[in-house]
Amino acid sequence: MTKVLGISGSLRRDSHNTRLLSATRALLGEDVELALFDRLDEIPPFNEDDEASTPEAVAALKAAIASADAVLVATPEYNGSLPGVLKNGLDWVSRPFATTPLMNKPAAVIGASTSLFGAVWAQAEARKVLATIGARVVDRELPIPQADEALGADGLPLDEDAREALSATLDELLEMASATEVATA
């Protein structure tokens, strides 16, 4: 059983990104378990002074990443970049650098926004942040523009090409995860 940890960068109750992320279960296959981390809002602002006493939600995120074979991030776009809560969570997880659970962790980024551009710049920045921390990041983007109309009742993109692109991203993430399992076995 391959474990994928989903992290939505949106805290909104009816978030398009959280819906999209949950909907990937249908594409991941039966031997893949998707768990969602939904406690980004409990993580305090990163402060080096507080590092010694890891906040509980940070410990939970680190543990969830450590026990997953791959990480799948879905991000909205705020002012051309990823949301502060997502960056804040990743900043906490990155410390200390020598023991971050994201080191060599296969990761992929997808995203949706109600704008014309589908969070394409936020995704690029999220890939950059993940790669800087040490994750092995799938070099693909999945911008879902005009998300309020682009997702079907099942939460997946209505557009055939976008659905195929999502599948391709997930396949590459799972291949990366299985290659990592073999390498560490």
Binding site for another protein (CB under 8 A): 114-118, 120-121, 123-124, 141, 143, 145-146
Each as own residue / partner, the long-range contacts of residues 150-158 (CB below 8 Å, 24 or more positions apart, any chain) are 150/112, 151/16, 151/19, 151/20, 151/23, 151/112, 154/23, 154/26, 155/19, 155/20, 155/22, 155/23, 156/20, 156/23, 156/24, 156/26, 156/27, 157/20
Shortest Cβ distance from residue 148 to another protein (Å)?
9
Q: Which is closer to another protein, CB of 120 or CB of 166? A: 120
Shortest Cβ distance from residue 13 to another protein (Å)?
21
Shortest Cβ distance from residue 175 to another protein (Å)?
20
Shortest Cβ distance from residue 172 to another protein (Å)?
15
Q: Which is closer to another protein, CB of 59 or CB of 158? A: 158
Alpha-helical regions (H) of 40-159: 56-67, 84-93, 120-133, 147-150
Q: Which is closer to another protein, CB of 72 or CB of 124? A: 124
Q: Which is closer to another protein, CB of 54 or CB of 146? A: 146
